[in-house]
Amino acid sequence: MSKKRVSLFRNILQFSVLSLIILFFIGNQVGLSVVDFETYCPMGGIQAILTLMKDGLIACNMTVTQMVLGAIFIFCILVLGKLFCSHLCPLGTVSEAIGKVADKFKIRRDINGVTDKVLRSLKYILLFFTLTITLETGELFCKTYDPFYGSVTMFGHRVNFLFATISISVFVLGSIIFRLFWCKYLCPLGAISNIFKYWIGVGVVVAVLSSMYFFEVGVDISIIVGIICLVGYALEILKIDTKQQSVLKITRHTHTCVDCGLCSRTCPQGIDVADLEMVKHPDCNLCGDCVAACPKDGALTLNEKMNVKWLPSVLVVVLFVSGLLIASQYNLPTVSKAWGSNEEMAKSKEFTINHMSHLTCFSSSMGFVRQMSEVDGVLAVNTYISDHKAEITYDTTKIDELSIRKMLYTRSKQFVKAPQLDQPLTVHKLRVAKYLTEADLKIMAEALKDEDVYQLETQFDTEIRLLAFCDANMSESKIENLITTIKHRRSYPFEVKDVVKSNVPISGIGLMKRAFKKHKATFNNFKSYPREKLRSVMLVLEDFPKNENKFKELSNHVAKRYKGVVGIHADYEAQPTVRFFYIQDMVEPQDIINWMSQPEMTLVYTNGDTEQVTNPYKFKLTN
Ligand code: SF4
Ligand code: SF4
């Protein structure tokens, strides 16, 4: 009964982690959950720790959670061994499972000798590029190719389709044909594990990082990373029999062992355990399968003395769960920049802006800091992407909080549906004090399309207000109820503080004109032609407002395709119209009508690339 314990605990843990990931993946796909799979990745955390040490900035959209998990990952390697790989990593679990199925068909091959040694360099090369690019750019390069992230996000944000497709294919094929191919030869986290498995590796990392951090040695970051990767690779291929500091090392007690060889045949890494007294092989991740397979009690143990078979599983859970609990207590700014002098800081004040949904990563944080650094009187900014908030420090003698808030505010507008042109409408102003984005308004508009609501807008005076253009009979309490229901359904973090009905009436046609985003463009040497040669034809947009935001594409298409057309002007006059300006003798009005009825438009980009897109417009000639 006790023989299978180590494997059993591990298998339960692996199965639980994988099941949770699959559940969250399905939840995300059907819209029941919004789990960010990066949140629990120690690889991102390690890179964030390094960018924090190098530049005082947290890479990409990493938070304290990933950084604590990254630190615990390293601690786990140093003290216990590669338990993360064998117990928690979903890629390791899937690769093992694929391999076990492949074994049944006897298609797995071993890679030995020089080929094995050369292939092992790949993960250090990948680690080198991953760390160097991340440290140079502040963006997590591993997201572009990570087979796990690429799969669970369905090639989501920042995933490079080509890189991720290659790595997913290599991962699957490698797992079928070879033993744990990804883990052994390509995983950069595996490379980090092997560096930290050896005292020499730890010594080199500590020496290099402290010289960089404490003594500010001005060496190019790629050289530093290169040295660490080279040392790791050398330690791995030479399998230097040096001291490994971890407490757990599989130990074979020769006086009890009956040399049956079961442990060697069971080891998923292909380590010849039966030929060793202590397993110091860099691939050993303490999975415990050899201990579980051993038929002789006490012949194989977790280290020289200890034989508590469930301990690795319990330790790894305790470590990583405590990490998550510790991380939940702290927060660090993603970007923290101050440029005010001591004198200015002395008379400064600070305030926090919440609900900044566009603060999602390192780049957006840096963009925000740049924007703020150009504002006279703003002295420092901290951004927190986990909470989508920013702390702004400002000089009270130069600017006030309200002016900064107004400056940051961007108006949003979302059409819900068209009213009757002669319909009397009313505008309700709801005080919400939340930075509602275009995306928020889009969701609200969708939810309100069966109500007597025609357009939503946001506005900033002393606070943010949501403007709802409704039928004149809509009461304040009804619109408040409608918005509050959406707020609860979507878990929006805002309260409707009050509703004020505007006493400025507006008609259906007034709203349509307001909703129409005007567009004016001239091209094809418009100014070079004499005025008397200029003619125009006006076409009515049949399906406004469905495609009213595609006028830039329309301009691009017309300008690049039809040389005699020199301008377009979209406006809502008595109806939504687009006026095409053309040069007499070069173009006939009927040509324009024919061209605009084509099913496709050709877009030409600044780099010369072209793209065929569906013509979204239906035009008719004005009467
Ligand atoms: S030596 Fe034992 S613990 Fe290490 S990987 Fe092989 S089976 Fe797992
Ligand atoms: S399985 Fe146990 S008894 Fe058999 S060779 Fe390995 S350590 Fe010895």
What is the tens place of the pLDDT at every residue in 128-162?
999 999 988 888 889 899 999 999 988 877 789 99
Give residue-wise pLDDT tens across range 369-407: 888 888 899 999 999 887 788 999 999 999 999 888 877
- Chain segment 234-257, per-residue pLDDT in tens: 988 887 655 666 888 899 999 999
* Ligand 2 atom with minimal separation from the 262 CA: 1
Query: Contacts by 605-611 with C-beta closer than 8 Å and gap 24+?
Result: none
Nearest CA to ligand 2 atom 4: 260
Q: Is residue 323 part of a domain?
A: no
Please state, in angstroms and rounded to a whole number, the distance separating the CA atoms of residues 584 and 275: 92
pLDDT of residue 103: 86
d(CA 508, CA 422): 5
**pLDDT tops 70 at residue 324:** yes
Helix (H) or strand (E) holding 565: strand 565-572
> Do 492 and 549 share a domain, yes or no?
no
Strands 519-522 and 565-572: antiparallel
165 and 93 fall within a common domain? yes
How far does residue 276's CA lie from ligand 2's centre (Å)?
Answer: 10
Establish if 121 belongs to a structural domain. yes
Residue 5 predicted with pLDDT over 70: no
Span from the CA of 260 to the centroid of ligand 2 (angstroms): 5
pLDDT of res. 106? 84
**Angstrom distance (rounded) from CA 315 to CA 72:** 12
The predicted structure's pLDDT at residue 435:
63
Same domain, 356 and 428: no
Specify whether 386 is located in the same domain as 447.
no
284 in contact with ligand 1, CB cutoff 6 A: yes
Give me ligand 2 centre to Cα 309, in Å. Answer: 16
Asked, for residue 325, whether it belongs to a domain, the answer is no
**Confidence at 601, pLDDT banded by 50, 70, 90:** confident
Percent of the chain predicted with pLDDT > 70: 93
Residue 547's pLDDT is 60
What percentage of the chain's residues is helix, strand, coil (to nearest 5)?
50, 15, 35
Per-residue pLDDT, averaged over 326-345, amounts to 86
Q: In total, how many domains does the chain have?
A: 4
pLDDT at 286 over 70: yes
- Give residue 262 CA to ligand 2 midpoint distance, Å: 6
pLDDT tens track for 430-475: 988 666 777 778 888 888 999 999 999 988 766 778 899 999 999 9
Kindly give the number of the ligand 1 atom that is closest to the alpha carbon of 279.
Answer: 1
Span from the CA of 433 to the centroid of ligand 2 (angstroms): 69
Q: What is the pLDDT of residue 467?
A: 92
Q: Tell me which ligand sits closest to the C-alpha of residue 254.
A: 2
User: Is the dihedral angle over the CA atoms 604, 605, 609, 613 positive or is it negative?
Assistant: negative
CA–centroid distance, residue 271 to ligand 2 (Å):
13
- Calpha distance 269→281 (Å, rounded): 10
H/E element, 613: strand 610-614
Domain stop point among 365, 392, 408: 408
pLDDT band at 21 (very low <50, low <70, confident <90, very high): very high
- Domain check: are 282 and 374 in the same one? no
Tell me if ipTM is over 0.90: no
* Residue among 392, 340, 331, 368 nearest 58 (CA): 331
Domain boundary among 457, 481, 513: 513
Closest ligand to the CA of 297: 2
For atom 7 of ligand 1, the residue with the nearest CA is: 267
Residues 533 and 421 in one domain: no
Residue 196 lies in a domain: yes
User: d(Cα 18, Cα 246) in Å, to the nearest integer?
Assistant: 27
Q: Does a structural domain hold residue 452?
A: yes
Of the two residues 38 and 72, the one the predictor is more confident about is 72
Q: Which residue has the higher pLDDT, 566 or 517?
A: 566
Q: What is the 272 CA–ligand 2 centroid distance (Å)? A: 10
Task: State in Å: Cα 86 to ligand 1 middle.
Answer: 9
**Can you give 86-100 as a three-state secondary structure string?**
HHCCHHHHHHHHHHH
Q: Hey, is 578 helix, strand or coil?
A: strand
Ligand 2 surroundings by CB, under 6 angstroms:
252, 257-263, 273-274, 293-294, 296, 299-300
- Over residues 28-57, the mean pLDDT reads 80
Choice from 249, 253, 255, 259 to test ligand 2 binding pocket (greatest atom count within 8 A of CB): 259
> Ligand 1, atom 4: nearest CA belongs to which residue?
284
CA of 294 to the centre of ligand 2 (A): 5
Mean pLDDT across the stretch 474-501? Answer: 84
pLDDT recorded at residue 199: 82
Q: Are residues 244 and 282 in the same domain?
A: yes
Residue 2 pLDDT more than 60? no
- Residue 4, pLDDT score: 43
Counting ligands in written order, which one lies closest to the CA of residue 3? 2
Q: How much of the chain, in percent, has pLDDT values that exceed 90?
A: 40
Q: Residues near 506 by Cβ (< 8 Å), separated by ≥ 6? A: 425, 426, 427, 469, 514
Structure tokens at 403: 């002016």
Average pLDDT, the chain: 86
For residue 335, the one-letter residue type is V
* pLDDT confidence bin for 361, thresholds 50/70/90: confident
Amino acid at 188: P
Q: Are 578 and 538 in contact (CB under 8 A)?
A: yes
Least confident of 175-184, 267-276, 286-295, 322-331: 322-331
> Which residue CA neighbors atom 6 of ligand 2 most closely?
263
Contact by Cβ (8 Å): 449, 473: no
Measure 606 CA to ligand 2 centroid, in angstroms.
68
Q: How many angstroms does the Cα of residue 102 sit away from the middle of ligand 2? A: 25
The structure tokens listed for 313 are 């599983």
In the numeric block, which tokens belong to residue 321? 């769960």
φ and ψ of 378, to 5 deg: -85, 130
pLDDT at 216 over 70: no
Among 24-33, 330-339, 416-425, 536-545, top mean pLDDT goes to 416-425
Residues 529 and 556 in one domain: yes
Q: Is 314 a domain residue?
A: no
Q: Domain of 462: which CATH number?
A: 3.30.70
Helices (H), 491-588: 508-515, 551-561
Per-residue pLDDT at 176 exceeds 80: yes
pLDDT confidence bin for 304, thresholds 50/70/90: confident
Query: From atom 6 of ligand 1, which residue's Cα is the shortest distance away?
Result: 267
Residues 222 and 297 in one domain: yes
Do 163 and 144 meet the contact criterion of CB atoms below 8 Å apart?
yes
**Adjacency order of strands within the sheet including 519-522:** 519-522, 565-572, 576-583, 534-541, 619-621
Domain stop point among 479, 513, 547: 513
Predicted local confidence at residue 218, as pLDDT: 63
Atom 2 of ligand 2, nearest CA residue? 294
Which ligand approaches the C-alpha of residue 6 most closely?
Answer: 1
Please give the pLDDT value at position 433.
63
Q: 19 alpha carbon to ligand 1 midpoint, in Å?
A: 24
In a domain, 590, yes or no: yes
User: What pLDDT sits at residue 248?
Assistant: 87
Residue 329 lies in a domain: no
CA-nearest residue for atom 3, ligand 2, is: 257
Q: Which domain holds residue 523?
A: 516-621
The verdict on 225 and 138 lying in the same domain is yes
Do 498 and 521 sit in the same domain of this protein?
A: no
Q: If you take atom 3 of ligand 1, which residue's CA is the nearest one?
A: 286
Closest CA to 248 of 312, 320, 319, 184: 312
| Ligand in nearest proximity to the CA of 290 | 1
* Residue 456 CB burial class (10 angstroms; 0-12, 13-18, ≥19): buried
Ligand 2: atom nearest CA of 266 is 1
Ligand nearest to the CA of 300: 2
pLDDT at position 3 is: 45
Residue nearest atom 1 of ligand 1, based on CA coordinates: 284
Q: pLDDT tens, 531-585?
A: 999 999 988 888 776 666 688 888 888 888 888 999 999 998 888 889 999 999 8
Ligand 1 centroid–CA 83 distance in Å is 11
CB 14 within 8 A of CB 83: no
Closest Cα to atom 5 of ligand 1: 284
Do 106 and 172 fall into the same domain?
Answer: yes
pLDDT of residue 1: 39
